[in-house]
């Protein structure tokens, strides 16, 4: 006759044993928060163009982080506060190569290291977006509200955020 005691002991032993989490579950997750107050963008055209910049920049930073070879450990909590005045500036006139198109304050906290925080201001000008402009179009004649310029600005800013992260 099988004992009812043995399954109970086996179950209790299994439940009491420590178990290892998969490696990916042990790592800190990156946290990215982009803030912009659309109502403070003084140009209607800029406000329309940057309507989804928070989600778009968050995705671009995440993509740049994933491509960074030494980001395997993860753990950065990244907060970006975009400057609404800077977003509107290129829409106020004819932007030149040094016209700022996106600026903001970036805060980075390493979730794996208590007290490890860094804060810096970051700005991107028209002449910095060229690597991301399709076909190396002339940025002096491209409409600042075009999808190509918008995507290039977002990708350039995201790359600069990731390049400025501590190693």
Q: What is the pLDDT of residues 95-113, one digit of tens each?
A: 777 778 899 999 988 766 6
Average pLDDT of span 61-87: 81
Question: Nearest-CA neighbor of 106 among 52, 63, 160?
Answer: 160
Map out the domains of the chain as residue ranges: 29-163
Residue 150 burial (CB count, 10 A): 19
Q: pTM for the complete prediction?
A: 0.75
Q: What is the pLDDT of residues 126-161, one digit of tens each?
A: 889 888 887 766 666 667 788 888 999 999 999 999
Write down the pLDDT at residue 113: 60
Q: What is the 3-state secondary structure (H, E, C) of the chain?
A: CCCCHHHHHHHHHHHHCCCCCCHHHHCCCCEEEEECCHHHCCCHHHHHHCCCHHHHHHHHHHHHHHHCHHHCCCCEEEEEEECHHHHHHHHCCCCCCCCEEEEEEEEEEECCCCCCEEEEEEEEEHHHCHHHCHHHCCCCCCCCCCHHHHHHHHHHHHHHHHHCCCC
């Amino acid at each position: 006759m099988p004992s009812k005691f043995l399954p109970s002991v086996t179950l209790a032993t299994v439940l009491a044993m420590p178990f290892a989490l998969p490696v990916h579950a042990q790592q800190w997750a990156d946290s990215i928060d982009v803030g912009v107050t659309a109502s403070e963008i003084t140009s209607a055209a800029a406000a329309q163009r940057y309507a989804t910049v928070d989600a778009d920049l968050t995705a671009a930073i995440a993509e740049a982080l994933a491509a960074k070879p030494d980001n395997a450990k993860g753990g950065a909590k990244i907060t970006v506060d975009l400057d609404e005045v800077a977003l509107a500036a290129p829409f106020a006139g004819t932007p030149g190569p040094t016209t700022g198109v996106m600026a903001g304050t970036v805060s980075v906290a390493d979730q794996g290291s208590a007290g490890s925080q860094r804060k810096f201001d970051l700005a991107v000008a028209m002449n910095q977006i060229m690597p991301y402009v399709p076909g190396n179009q002339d940025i002096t004649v491209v409409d600042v509200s075009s999808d190509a310029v918008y995507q290039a600005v977002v990708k350039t800013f995201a790359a600069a955020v990731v390049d400025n992260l501590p190693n």
